[in-house]
Structure 1
């Protein structure tokens, strides 16, 4: 991975290894701020109270308790006040989870740092560091900010907090200095990152990025915050909540009026309406959605996909088409020596030796680096003279001596090298034809030559004639490891991948065939040809396209718009300014973190920290799992809320005593809230993409899932009603009937939780067991049950509850079977 230093930051860094003066520290802090990487939320009782008072359940309990107190029902009023204790406990736990996650992230960071400044070495708070500071870091300590290593003593670094990789990483000294003229990308081997820890050795770090600009701070910031927008899923949930509120208000008004008309008194009518309102209040839905989106941002960051806008998480799993660039995403983004073609009288090793001798002058060049990696390594010749490559000469010449033997080695453009060699016309044409064939298949080709050299010759003059031709070297940008498998997964999941590149059609087609993209052979068109065909045939033509070559920004933008016009959810990858239009209009814009420009990263909604296509596929798989988890949470809420609301309204409307008192609703909410928020988010993601039938219109549930929710909700409603009426009996034992209805609903809730979650994870087991134990304890212990206006149940009552739970299993399992069968048939 590379990090890019903006010019304004580079200009603020001092030269050499000097430390900052206090005046420089103060001036730099005014420009860039403090090194506050994570803003820790306030802790203590008052922040908890401030957050808790925002919850409508609190005001419901206080208001209802006040009503009971005013009418002289002091016992009920006290019970409701006591119920605030578990309510506060649950609220405290959920709020504490957020604070604990932030504190856990902060625990990776250094609190203190040893900084070298003009007046010597001193220990300061890590938050006091500024860009340009020199910091000493020893083994066992974490880097306090992001910076370049100026001194290192064989250090190894644990970067698992950022990358997830368990293996230690070796680092190197950054010998150059940022120029401050243009953006500069610097390899990760020269960086120390905030939140990563030195395992061995020690280092001196020149701080470059502090606070929220560090890589660690950027990840945390996007995980905990983000731009607040309302994409389709959130708008859909908003509409659902609004509809439920309207229905709840209407039911409350009808219920209060009917109860008062039936002669039950004003208090009964008021309590019935308020209890129904709280039972029907759909506050869990937006809370669960927001919570799950935050979880999604964090889980994707662990997969090295940095989400800049949390709301895009809902779109990741719905992607149907990926418009991917080639270099660095499908390929490694580096030159690799692929083919060697020596002349008849030379071996491959001899050809590579000549090329390596001509490459000794610029070991940092990617092409030279590829040659030196492939050449024999048992030689260390002396360089007598060098004549570097220039655009006008198009060659590089080196005079080397190995013992008593000296020779001249040359490499460069094939036309230039061939013109300086002993070859007849036929031989030159044959070699130039091979050069053309290699170039058309996406290779970068150079030619090599050599000639003897005597020590008496003048080394100041460049040899420029009478060379012996040595052969050709062909280089390519190799496909990334695992890309073929990732593309195969996309094909199986019916996600179309289109390569969009500015390369020659033959180059792009050769890579597409190598990695298995599209048909065999891949269908390649140029950008101009695509636009012409689209104007004639419309967007259906894109079904016949696998690769768009010779593409310019307007072609990529047109491609994305046409795909979206036919209902595709389009992801676009890009790294340059020319990709900004397409990244901006895409449903999911994905910028490259290693080599992407700032403009591309600013408009993109996701940044790939490793520029790897496999990461995109993993992010889609994670997004689909997150959506499935959210679906399960909403299914649970509806399957439990439907019978809760219906029985709370219908039983009093039919003239029976009120089923749920306020304390009962509190008890049920203490089960429903943690179940919806905690149980389903723990379902693990998968790296495998599976086919999911497309939906022409955004819908949260499939038709089969909707039927399953409705059928299960109505079945539980019927079971509660039947058990309530059965237990009410001739003597109208209301407390016994309420206890029976509560047990049936709690058992049904436990069954729904178990079947949807399959009891994967500690939260699922804990919440299910807790709900069942709470029913046994609060109902079967006479003292507690009397406080809750309930009565202990008989042996046969528990058998009825268990039987009801068994019946609830049937529709859930039956509709799950239909869902799987439907998905398989759609997959065929």
Structure 2
């Protein structure tokens, strides 16, 4: 029988006893599985994953490239061309059909490769954001990907964990699990390790935790019983139909523009065909085929059908670049929202500060103890500063009383504690809350404290919650034959639960004078930038146990206060300033004392000296409208509960802001989901917050958020660049053909060698060639363009502003019309008659016009890199663009000079002088745009680009 595969004779996990189940699964709950055994079980049971979608075969993915209405038009064009070729005697090869077919195939290959790149990038991001679980392996707590869980693994559960597999609880302390995704119950379920009996519905299996649910409170230990598709969530997944991912606003806009252009250009193509037939006439089947092919090719070339694939590739490349810099976007299209962020609501600890909690001071009834050393290395000394220290004879007695009190503070704080600090490869590593780890490190500095802690046996726990801001532990001391409740928590909250104070070896009542003195000490520590915590205790009553369901935090004796410092990150102040310059406001939200929050916020430049912090109790008194008024003025919030974060986000959004919100605790998940960009902490964040977020911060660093906004703006800028480039270039082709037909007589566009022949400025194959070589390669290169404009010197982009706005459309029309004009003038320059007298053949003139249009589009790529800056500004920053330009020029040389290509595209060789003429005419597009940009910069006072051009308009 396979491990974890019960037979009919075995009880299901929720009905089996814990000991029986662990024996069945062949695991010691105190040690967990060994690494070798875990690997063997993983090979037997497979990854702990829900069944993925069936992979699409390569042939179907390739075939999908042809499933487009415009492609259908080209297929019809091939059929018409072949039919005409057969009617006319099938002499030679059907060149037009072959060329169109080859171009279709090449386009399909390009699309296939682009989609593959985007899919690979998304797969890589999924790996980066994969859920993890804490398990016991080889007797040690280990963090591993949830996909590697196997039956028999011992799960270590704590607040904020996403349950990685179905498991039977062995120990549960105040454990509550949110199971709405599985059972539909809106409230969290209280869990217990007690065995059940009889028929028990899924929602009532309180001794089980299930894959896909979330721990919202408490701690527990469970043995994995089933994984993957054998879990309860797997059963549901097997019943669900596949769901299509909803497109992002950017995708919707691009699709709408493409449809509009498609309808418009098809109409234009019909007009062009009708005009051509009316103006020049069509006397043979071949001429009718030429007209039809031209119209179809024009419609296909004018619509950027490759735009969605290029957009996905550019976003994928940009998001992977962000991930390498510790900003992992879970969805590609969240980049468009990130670039529009106008407010960052950030936690303080670990984000704006270094998250290297160091307990630096202990304040008790007898004085103050200062501890040296920083970080988690247990190295440092203690300096005793008794109250009224004057160097007299009684100083030794004062020191002894102070030492007794300080040791009691650290004993209590270290017992009411779930962190561990271990040395690995010369580095001290914290597992658990860094604030709790600070107590353990300080204990080692004060001597004897770790030994005394060893005399206590923890027997029960009332876990910390954001609402209570305290945690308590019942610990038994065998030598004294007594049990104590040790509590640590927010100093101002804990003080309200205390009735006495420890003074040396005595316990004295806590009168009003003593309370005022303690409150003053809290204020002083907070003003110095310390996070303050209090530690208290009392002797437990007979049979009493610390429990979340029982109020044990009463009639406490205050042992003392501690001041824990978490210094600001050196780079955070610069990041706050950079965000302000970009029009992005920073708001700090913390559970710390208001004075601590003010000090840190002032040091970081979030507020000026004297700026105020709003406390959670103040937020409780405000209705929604008043809160909107408050968030306009206040940028620091202290002593807040998780639901306050949600209200702050909602108020900012009602005020028109695009909000990025950071979070790490399970109760932050609602605020992260509500925010426009929810940002989970990658180091300290819980699995629940990571699932609720759109972005994961790999280094928990505020500067990384600002850098991600910077990168998001660059990516969005690049999208604007290649949109402007593709649209204007395609319009240039439409203008060339349409006005080449309408103004053929004015421009002298006629073949003197065959006066009665049908004449078109560009052939269908030439249009399709231009579309293939100039649309994809340069556009992709522009998608990875480095920063040209100073994107952090402009306000955030308005979310309701379309990417293709009026200024961008104006530039597209101007550039496209100009490209069409210089192409037609180039042809006129070489042809007899028209506006400019020439003497070359029509085939040569058409080849020159064809080449001029290609070169004009390449120069347009250089100009499109910025809406306001000169094309020569940072001209050589993008080697990929120059490589793309070089490739297209080389391909165009082949088309013009290689005989096989000449036959396929009806071209003739050009002389060096003629190439220079084509380049000079094409450069008019570049120089004209330079004049427009110069005028724009002069009009704007040579300042940054106007807001209308902020995204490449």
Aligned to 2:915, which of 771, 795, 798? 798
Deviation at 1:627, TM superposition (A): 0.4
CA distance in 1, matches of 2:811, 2:724: 9
- Residue 669 (1) aligns with residue 771 (2): yes
- Residue 444 (1) aligns with residue 532 (2): yes
- Residue 741 (1) aligns with residue 844 (2): no
Whether contact under 8 Å (1:632, 1:680) holds in the other structure is yes
Distance 1:479 1:551, change over 3 A: same
Whether contact under 8 Å (1:570, 1:587) holds in the other structure is yes
Distance 1:671 1:56, change over 3 A: farther
Give the equivalent residue in structure 2 for 1:416: 501
Distance 1:131 1:768, change over 3 A: same
Give the equivalent residue in structure 2 for 1:202: none
- Residue 252 (1) aligns with residue 269 (2): yes
2:261 alignment partner, SS class: helix
- Residue 64 (1) aligns with residue 77 (2): yes
Give the equivalent residue in structure 2 for 1:321: 343
Q: Count residues with an aligned counterpart.
A: 705
Aligned to 1:489, which of 578, 599, 604? 578
1:725 alignment partner, SS class: helix
| RMSD after superposition | 5.2
2:637 alignment partner, SS class: strand
Give the equivalent residue in structure 2 for 1:287: 309
Whether contact under 8 Å (1:305, 1:615) holds in the other structure is yes
1:792 alignment partner, SS class: coil
CA distance in 2, matches of 1:790, 1:602: 58
Write the mapping of 1:750-789 to structure 2, written as runs, cut at 5 A: 750-756=858-864, 758-781=875-898, 784-789=901-906
Partner deviation per Cα, 1:186-232 (whole Å, 9 max, x = no partner)? xxxxxxxxxxxxxxxxxxxx99999999xxxxxxxxxxx99732333
1:690 alignment partner, SS class: helix
2:94 alignment partner, SS class: helix
CA distance in 1, matches of 2:113, 2:226: 30
Deviation at 1:592, TM superposition (A): 3.3
Distance 1:367 1:711, change over 3 A: closer
Distance 1:85 1:258, change over 3 A: closer
Give the equivalent residue in structure 2 for 1:309: 331
Distance 1:109 1:513, change over 3 A: closer
Write the mapping of 1:31-430 to structure 2, written as runs, cut at 5 A: 32=49, 42=57, 46-47=59-60, 49-54=62-67, 59-72=72-85, 77-82=94-99, 84-85=101-102, 87-89=104-106, 91-96=108-113, 98-99=115-116, 146=148, 228-265=245-282, 266-332=288-354, 335-339=357-361, 349-351=381-383, 355=406, 359=410, 365=419, 369-371=437-439, 373=441, 383=451, 386=455, 416-418=501-503, 420=505
Give the equivalent residue in structure 2 for 1:620: 709
Aligned to 1:650, which of 714, 718, 739? 739
Give the equivalent residue in structure 2 for 1:199: none
- Residue 507 (1) aligns with residue 520 (2): no
CA distance in 1, matches of 2:244, 2:504: 61
Deviates more, 1:240-249 or 1:495-504: 495-504
Give the equivalent residue in structure 2 for 1:608: 697
- Residue 698 (1) aligns with residue 801 (2): yes
Distance 1:532 1:235, change over 3 A: farther
Deviation at 1:745, TM superposition (A): 0.8
CA distance in 2, matches of 1:143, 1:527: 37
Deviation at 1:54, TM superposition (A): 2.8
CA distance in 1, matches of 2:472, 2:906: 97
Deviation at 1:662, TM superposition (A): 1.9
Deviation at 1:610, TM superposition (A): 3.6
Aligned to 2:831, which of 708, 728, 732? 728
Deviation at 1:39, TM superposition (A): 8.2
CA distance in 2, matches of 1:325, 1:108: 25
Partner deviation per Cα, 1:272-331 (whole Å, 9 max, x = no partner)? 321221122231333333333333443333333333333322111111112223344334
Partner deviation per Cα, 1:614-646 (whole Å, 9 max, x = no partner)? 232222112111101111111210221121111
Deviates more, 1:596-605 or 1:374-383: 374-383
Partner deviation per Cα, 1:421-462 (whole Å, 9 max, x = no partner)? 59999996896365332465453256899xxxxxxxxxxxxx
1:417 alignment partner, SS class: strand
CA distance in 2, matches of 1:318, 1:346: 48
CA distance in 1, matches of 2:894, 2:734: 25
CA distance in 2, matches of 1:108, 1:531: 40
Give the equivalent residue in structure 1 for 2:729: 640
Aligned to 1:683, which of 785, 790, 797? 785
Deviation at 1:724, TM superposition (A): 2.0
Aligned to 1:435, which of 521, 545, 552? 521
CA distance in 2, matches of 1:435, 1:485: 32
Deviates more, 1:97-106 or 1:592-601: 97-106
Aligned to 1:631, which of 711, 716, 720? 720
Structure with the bigger percentage of helix: 1
Deviates more, 1:242-251 or 1:72-81: 72-81
1:619 alignment partner, SS class: helix
CA distance in 1, matches of 2:571, 2:224: 35
Write the mapping of 1:552-631 to structure 2, written as runs, cut at 5 A: 552=641, 555-631=644-720
Give the equivalent residue in structure 2 for 1:173: none
Deviation at 1:251, TM superposition (A): 0.9
CA distance in 2, matches of 1:397, 1:433: 31
CA distance in 2, matches of 1:491, 1:628: 20
Whether contact under 8 Å (1:228, 1:311) holds in the other structure is no
CA distance in 1, matches of 2:313, 2:40: 45
Distance 1:92 1:674, change over 3 A: same
Distance 1:473 1:638, change over 3 A: same
2:761 alignment partner, SS class: coil
Give the equivalent residue in structure 1 for 2:636: 547
Partner deviation per Cα, 1:22-68 (whole Å, 9 max, x = no partner)? 9987996597558x8x987655xx35642443356654554323322
CA distance in 2, matches of 1:581, 1:233: 25
Q: Which consecutive unaligned segments of at least 5 residues does structure 1 have?
A: 1-6, 111-129, 136-141, 152-176, 185-205, 214-224, 401-409, 450-468
Distance 1:304 1:745, change over 3 A: same
Distance 1:769 1:601, change over 3 A: same
Q: Which consecutive unaligned segments of at least 5 residues does structure 2 have?
A: 1-12, 128-132, 139-143, 154-168, 178-222, 231-241, 283-287, 372-380, 385-402, 420-433, 463-470, 480-485, 489-493, 538-557, 750-758, 834-838, 866-874, 949-953
CA distance in 2, matches of 1:725, 1:669: 23
Deviation at 1:490, TM superposition (A): 1.0
Deviation at 1:269, TM superposition (A): 3.3
Deviation at 1:742, TM superposition (A): 0.9
Aligned to 1:719, which of 822, 847, 851? 822
Distance 1:750 1:439, change over 3 A: same
Give the equivalent residue in structure 1 for 2:376: none
Deviates more, 1:440-449 or 1:480-489: 440-449
1:71 alignment partner, SS class: helix
Distance 1:703 1:695, change over 3 A: farther
Give the equivalent residue in structure 2 for 1:200: none
Distance 1:796 1:528, change over 3 A: same
Distance 1:472 1:741, change over 3 A: same
